[in-house]
Structure 1
Amino acid sequence: MIGASNFFELAVAAAIALFGLQSGAALATVVGVLVEVPLMLALVRIANKTRHHFPAG
């Protein structure tokens, strides 16, 4: 997660510079990151709670 977040500010700046402040690209760049982390944590929690349904190995 740390490696992916190093270029967050650069990605936001590039999206704003290329597409403008009111563009969907700038919004997606910000909102995508804010949604991604809680979603991944929820998926990990579901996987851990249902691990007994799947064979090991």
Structure 2
Amino acid sequence: MEAQLTVTGWVGTDVELRPAADDLTAWATFRLASTPRFHRNGEWQDGNTTWNL
């Protein structure tokens, strides 16, 4: 099974690439920040930035 995910944000740490136990796949860890934008009163405004692990 294969999945594709697209996320827009800011990477806040170095990306650590780690091999899986089966040596056929890998996974990465990093912190990601995202800030929602919304249109209010004719202007674009930024919401609160959220940091994810």
TM-score w.r.t. length of structure 1: 0.25
- Structure with higher RCO (Cα < 8 A, 6+ apart): 2
Larger helix share, 1 or 2: 1
More strand by share: 2
